[in-house]
């Protein structure tokens, strides 16, 4: 039982935004981290970084989600680190596990063939739990009971780093500027993991023309007006976004369409391309925002503000020379060209 091993701290209820009378205005927002108990050290580093660089001045709450119960040690450490402003949830089994309408033989074959194709990234080619995670992040995190009272979220993963002081509140920025989805890094996907995805997206577009936004970002996803997908996507390990969009009719129809096909298990569809395709098609391009000022690191990839002024003001610790922005495998140049017209 939790209580018996966590006597040295007293959990307190989350303060609601309204009850925080001092300090800056808060958006209706939360941080969210999906983690395993074994991610404790990495989670500590990531939360410590975002607290130091941003959240000690704001006090936004945290939601930690896991497919099994968090250990009392995980809860104890995260509660202290977040100033007792954290909630811990278990993911309902039908939001996490492979649905029973997936043909296990076909899924097993698919995992083997991805291994044979030497898809190395994340060691995830053969993993069922990785596929559960991708499906959960695509269609379910915003349905978790602990997320219901919030509109905005900022996704954080264990071991990520924040390299600069974040001087303006990104949630309020999003709200005040009518943004829906914010990113820092955009990359190409491994084609083998999403072989049939674009065909199903194309079907969806013709079945649901009502969901396609005018002034959308198809021009970012495709160099030939949608015939083929260039695999560019926003890296979803960092996301600041509006859950009303994921909860709304366009995305609900889109996720159900894709989930029924089973590509999360018959291939290895990631939540990043799924989210990215959705925001690119169902939103106006001006509703998507690149956060230049947020220095960010995931594994070996980082975004560091290239603007000298922003880098100095943010007292950034990252090396601009190593920023991924215009690396050969980054889609940022494509994004810039797309946003600057033509």
Q: Which is nearer to ligand GDP, 130 or 173 (CB)?
A: 130
Segment contacting Mn ion by CB under 5 A, of 234-242, 274-282, 302-310, 327-335: 234-242
Task: Check if 239 is active-site.
Answer: yes
* Helix locations, 267-331, DSSP H: 271-282, 308-313
Query: How many angstroms separate the CA atoms of 277 and 271, rounded?
Result: 10
Residue ranges of E strands in the chain: 29-34, 62-66, 86-90, 152-155, 161-162, 181-183, 186-188, 232-234, 239-242, 288-290, 296-298, 301-303
CA 48 to chain centre: 19
Q: Looking at residue 69, what DSSP letter applies?
A: P
Nearer to ligand GDP, 65 or 283 (CB): 65
Per CB under 6 A, contacts with ligand GDP among 126-155 are 129-130, 133
On whether the CB atoms of residues 57 and 24 are closer than 8 A, the answer is yes
d(CA 313, CA 310): 5
Instruction: Choose which of 34, 119, 197, 278 interacts with ligand GDP (CB under 6 A).
Output: 34
Nearer Cβ to ligand GDP (134/279) = 134
- Starting at the edge strand that comes first in sequence, how are the strands of the sheet with 29-34 ordered? 86-90, 62-66, 29-34, 152-155, 239-242, 181-183, 288-290
CB of residue 93 vs Mn ion: minimum separation in angstroms?
23
* Token pair recorded at residue 280: 């690119």
CB-based burial label for 219 (10 Å; 0-12, 13-18, 19+): middle
Q: Which of 6, 11, 36, 317 binds ligand GDP (CB under 6 A)?
A: 36
Decide: is 313 part of the binding site for ligand GDP (CB under 6 A): no
- Positions in 63-92 near ligand GDP (CB under 6 A): 66-67
Q: Choose between 61 and 158: whose C-beta lies nearer to ligand GDP.
A: 158
> Is residue 157 a contact point for Mn ion (CB under 5 A)?
yes
Q: Does 47 engage in binding with ligand GDP (CB under 6 A)?
A: no
Nearer to ligand GDP, 211 or 298 (CB): 298
Mark 199-238 with x for binding to ligand GDP (rule: CB under 6 A) and - for no binding.
Answer: --------------------------------------x-
Q: What does the chain come to in residues?
A: 342
Query: What does the block give as tokens for 250?
Result: 């366009």
Which of ligand GDP, Mn ion, none has residue 133 at its interface (CB below 5 to 8 Å by kind)?
A: ligand GDP
174 closest CA partner among 311, 338, 286:
286
> Which of these is catalytic: 51, 189, 239, 267?
239
Q: Which residues bind ligand GDP (CB under 6 A)?
A: 34-36, 39, 66-67, 122, 129-130, 133, 157-158, 237
Annotated catalytic residues are: 239
Q: Which residues bind Mn ion (CB under 5 A)?
A: 157, 237
């Amino acid at each position: 039982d939790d209580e018996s091993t966590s006597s040295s701290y007293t959990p307190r209820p989350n303060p609601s935004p309204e009850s925080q009378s001092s300090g800056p205005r808060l958006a209706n927002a939360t941080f969210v981290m999906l983690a395993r108990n074994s991610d404790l050290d990495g989670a500590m580093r990531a939360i410590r970084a975002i607290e130091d660089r941003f959240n000690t001045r704001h006090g936004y709450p945290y939601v930690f989600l896991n497919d099994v119960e968090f250990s009392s040690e995980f809860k104890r450490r995260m509660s202290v680190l977040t100033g007792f402003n954290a909630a811990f949830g278990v993911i309902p089994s039908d939001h996490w596990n492979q649905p029973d309408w997936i043909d296990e033989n076909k899924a097993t074959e698919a995992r083997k063939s991805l291994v044979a194709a030497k898809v190395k990234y994340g060691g995830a080619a053969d993993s069922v739990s990785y596929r559960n995670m991708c499906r959960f992040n695509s269609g379910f995190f915003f349905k978790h009971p602990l997320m219901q009272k919030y509109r905005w979220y900022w996704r954080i993963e264990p071991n990520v780093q924040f390299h600069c002081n974040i001087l303006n509140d990104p949630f309020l920025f999003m709200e005040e500027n009518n943004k829906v989805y914010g990113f820092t890094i955009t990359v190409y996907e491994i084609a083998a993991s999403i072989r049939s995805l674009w065909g199903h997206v194309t079907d969806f577009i013709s079945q649901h023309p009502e969901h396609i936004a005018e002034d959308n970002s198809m021009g970012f996803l495709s160099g030939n007006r949608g015939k083929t997908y260039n695999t560019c996507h926003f890296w979803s390990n960092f996301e600041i976004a509006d859950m009303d969009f994921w909860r709304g009719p366009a995305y609900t129809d889109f996720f159900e369409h894709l989930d029924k096909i089973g590509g999360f298990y018959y291939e290895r569809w990631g939540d990043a391309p799924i989210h990215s395709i959705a925001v690119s098609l169902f939103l106006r391009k001006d509703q998507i925002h690149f956060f230049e000022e947020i220095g960010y690191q995931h594994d070996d990839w980082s975004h560091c503000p290239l603007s000298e002024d922003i880098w100095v003001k943010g007292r950034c610790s990252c090396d601009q020379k190593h920023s991924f922005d215009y690396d050969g495998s980054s889609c940022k140049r494509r994004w810039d060209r797309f946003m600057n017209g033509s």
